[in-house]
Amino acid sequence: MPKKNYTAPAEKIVSAVGGESNIINLYHCVTRLRFKLKDTSKTDKATLDAMPEVLSVVQANGQYQVVIGNDVENMFDAVMKNHSIDNALDSDSEEVADHGEKGNPIIRFFNVISSIFNPIIIALAGAGMLKALLVLCTTYLGMSQESSTYGILSAAGNSVFYFLPIFLAFSAARVFKANPYISVAIVGALLEPNFTGLVTETGAVVDFIGIPTYLMSYTSTVIPAIISVYMYSLLEKQLKKFIPKNIEIFALSLAALLIMVPLTVIVIGPIGVFLGDGIGSLINFASARSGLLAGAILGAGWTFLVMTGVHWGIVPIMLNNIALYGEDPIRPMVAAATFASAGVALGVFMRSKNKDTKALAISSMMPALLGGITEPIVYGLSVKFKRPLIAQTIAGGIAGAFIGAMGTTASVYVFPAITTFPAFAGPTFIYYLIGITGAFIGSAILTYILGFKEDTDREPVTKKTNGQTDDHSISAPVSGKVIPISEVNDPVFSQKAMGDGVGIIPDNGTVKAPADGVIETVFPTGHAVGIKTTGGYECLIHIGIDTVSLNGEGFETKVKQGDKVKKGQVLVEFDLDLIKQKGYDPTVMVCITNMDLVKEINIMAPITATDQDVVIDLVGKGV
């Protein structure tokens, strides 16, 4: 099978977010390209939504998020390869540089948490899975905890969690714009054997230059490292004002260590531990007091938290619970939402009559069941068809309530999936298994019962004759030479990423409706119009190649979104000579974007057509 080419869609995405000059920086998480843009008004959401590679577009936490799904890393690499765009995960990026200066404080908080935890989640998930497998090996497969094999594998699984403050220090330093190596040195002191040797018990009191100091164990903790690095980032700015450049190489780190390590040990560390302990106690109290309510809220609402990026604020609480108590009650409740999403895919597969929808359902269900990745289902099925989102919310809420009421816990941080069952092994595993099975089956049944409307549900429209409008024909919107769309000079169109159709080399600047229908989209720049014909076909008329860069110059639209139009009605007038003078290719692309509705397409090319000549003849699947 030939390797998929991501260059063309990557170029389309960059153009649709306003071009390279509009991008401050970019990084990706498990499923999304996360852009930080200068001006979101320059984006073209309609183009992104129409791309088959894009599942959805989300604006949240100050980011313009393009949801790709499993191919996000390949798409990210294609974008970065051909553009000079800052990687937000590089230490010199501007990512979250304004975290403390402007914007909604809640949004700033989630931006910071997301930026700190995103880079290390992959390490946490892998280490958590290894720890879970060791539990399985020692419990059921006879591996001895005294064996050297166990010791080596245990070290591999424990390393990320034991040294979690170090990972957080480095990541937080990147976000807070502090020297990452000095930050690691400060936090690393909390794990150094001379210090840990002083900690005979939590709360032990020692003397530091006459100051009574309460000692804590900081292995696997979350909050102290983040607060400490944030405080150091403020101190570093002040130190650089006073330390001469010629001695900064040693004086900066010397001053930082002398000030920040004692400050962290005496003040920041204990406050962070007490704060984390308080949050953990509150969560556990709420879970014990009403696990049913907590589980219902998380099981029903987690999908919506993920869609907005707010879920990152809960990840540290899960990790903190595991560090303090060795188990976490939140992750199992969240699993209800994950398996409810997977159930949607099964329900859609059983209910749908469209082979492309069925294929999407099956292909998106496997990453959810095996890896806990649900965005392809959420955006490709639930949000698109709406009713499945209701089904998974109900099923997730009920299953989450059951899981919470039974006090189910996870022993390590993992993504909820079939492959991560060992993380939930223990006395409550049977309740976890019942809960997620109920979420999966219940969501599938509800999705099937509630149903959903897809393109093939429309009443088929028969052809009309005797001079009446033909609902299955597309006329040339502009007169000129008609060529197959595969021959146009834009790879997005020539590779049929947007759909099949024709290109027209125009001989005038008047674009007319190619059929009766309703205007679905009018691009602000006037260079493209989308129309849904009375036959149910979605036809995109794109005037020129890269003419979006003209920013509306030379284009005058005559219709607006929602207008009903008749074949031959003027939609757009454009200055053909201006487009040529500016060096742009004036070819007009005419393509059918909902090809899932088309059984057969006949292209009339190459010909020279007037704006009344049929250039595309369609046979619908319902005909």
595 within 8 A of 536, measured Cβ to Cβ:
no
520 within 8 A of 561, measured Cβ to Cβ:
yes
Sign of the CA dihedral with 179 first, then 180, 182, and 187 last: positive
> How are beta strands 23-28 and 32-37 bridged, if at all?
antiparallel
DSSP 8-state assignment for residue 410: B
Rama region for 552: left / alpha / beta (φ>0; ψ in -120 to 50; rest): left
DSSP 8-state assignment for residue 553: T
Instruction: Measure the CA–CA gap between 508 and 619, rounded to whole angstroms.
Output: 30
Instruction: Measure the CA–CA gap between 178 and 56, rounded to whole angstroms.
Output: 34
Instruction: Measure the CA–CA gap between 310 and 317, rounded to whole angstroms.
Output: 13
Active site residue 591: no
Catalytic residue among 99, 311, 542, 591: 542
Active site residue 29: yes
What values do phi and psi take at 49, rounded to 5? -60, -30
Rg (CA), the chain: 29
Q: Is 39 exposed, middle or buried (0-12, 13-18, 19+ CB in 10 A)?
A: exposed
Catalytic residue among 28, 29, 472, 591: 29
**What tokens appear for 173 in the block?**
């330093």
Give the residue among 35, 30, 28, 127 at the shortest CA–CA distance from 338: 30
What values do phi and psi take at 355, rounded to 5? -65, -35
DSSP 8-state assignment for residue 509: S
Instruction: Measure the CA–CA gap between 496 and 124, rounded to whole angstroms.
Output: 40
Give the residue among 608, 605, 545 at the shortest CA–CA distance from 579: 545
442 within 8 A of 403, measured Cβ to Cβ:
no
C-alpha dihedral, 94 to 99 to 102 to 106, nearest 10°: 140
Question: In what side-by-side order are the strands of the sheet with 23-28?
Answer: 23-28, 32-37, 63-67, 56-60
**What tokens appear for 336 in the block?**
């209800």
DSSP 8-state assignment for residue 536: S
Instruction: Measure the CA–CA gap between 196 and 188, rounded to whole angstroms.
Output: 11
**Longest CA span, the chain:** 102
Q: How distant is the alpha carbon of residue 284 from its chain centre?
A: 29
Give the residue among 310, 374, 314 at the shortest CA–CA distance from 342: 374
Looking at the DSSP bridge assignments, the partners of residue 60 are 63
Instruction: Measure the CA–CA gap between 75 and 73, rounded to whole angstroms.
Output: 5
Helix (H) or strand (E) holding 366: helix 355-371
Give the residue among 121, 163, 126 at the shortest CA–CA distance from 27: 121
What values do phi and psi take at 400, rounded to 5? -60, -40
Number of H helices, E strands in the chain: 20, 20
Instruction: Measure the CA–CA gap between 79 and 74, rounded to whole angstroms.
Output: 9
Catalytic residues, by residue number, are 29, 542
